[in-house]
Amino acid sequence: MLIQVLQAQVAAALLDCEAVVFTPDAPVTFKSGIQSPVYIDNRRLPFWPEQWQVVIEGFRQVITALKLEFDVIAGIAAAGIPHSAALAYLLGTPSIFVRKQAKEHGLKSLVEGGDVTRRRVLLVEDLVTTGGSSLAGVEALRAAGAVVKDCLCITSYGFAEAAKAFNAANVRLHPLTPFSAIVVEASRRGMFGQPELDLLERWMRDPHQWQTAE
């Protein structure tokens, strides 16, 4: 019950800060190559402190409910960093971040902020599509000597390929709210009519071929 309530609260927070944009006539292309009729911009959250607080507090509730154990919190650059840093500050936990690629100057490190050798690291991501960026971060952390078993994210589209990738990497993914919960809340608010709901259902069922599906 707690998880369902939290999913609804986070979905409402994202809609309140206009982080969810429906663009059926101009699909957005993700880094994975998937084209989407909807775009979720969680980078808007820090501009809306009340809604952001719902998310950060939600992370704390999930950590407590699942009894997650960790020594360090890591954010994926760049979108995951505000949320990981805020959560680490709330919990009084060391905070680091993981670059997507090393800088050409300096120490050229992928993991920035501190030594994670033999330390349990909780990864924080803003949004998971196929899991590629998150799992690249896991790989970088493990290469630096960290132990990574869990990843928190604000939102996940719930694609089967993401679940498969996380399972293969032996990482548990814990989204605060799935995309399906956002659709339910948006529908309750009258933001989506039946044609939009049908399109979103088709996209969620086959994100690679939804535009050609009947």
> Using an 8 Å Cβ cutoff, are 115 and 86 in contact?
no
pLDDT tier at 175, thresholds 50, 70, 90: very high
Burial category of 118 from C-beta neighbours within 10 Å (exposed 0-12, middle 13-18, buried 19 and up)? exposed
List of residues 6+ apart from 98 with CB closer than 8 A: 74, 75, 76, 77, 110, 111, 112, 123, 137, 140, 141
pLDDT for 107 equals: 58
- By residue range, what is the domain housing residue 125? 2-205
Is residue 211 assigned to a domain? no
**Across residues 102-114, what is the average pLDDT?**
77
Cβ density class 29-47: b for 16+ within 10 Å, e for less: ebebebebbbebbbeebee
Tell me, what CATH number does 78's domain have? 3.40.50.2020
Is residue 16 assigned to a domain? yes
Q: Is 45 helix (H, G, I), strand (E, B) or coil?
A: helix
Please report, rounded to a whole number, the percentage of residues in the chain having pLDDT higher than 90. Answer: 82
- The 10s digit of each residue's pLDDT in 14-36 is 999 999 999 888 899 998 889 99
pLDDT tier at 190, thresholds 50, 70, 90: very high
- The 10s digit of each residue's pLDDT in 37-49 is 999 999 999 999 9
Number of independent structural domains in the chain? 1
pLDDT for 128 equals: 97
Is residue 28 assigned to a domain? yes
- The 10s digit of each residue's pLDDT in 137-152 is 999 999 999 999 999 9
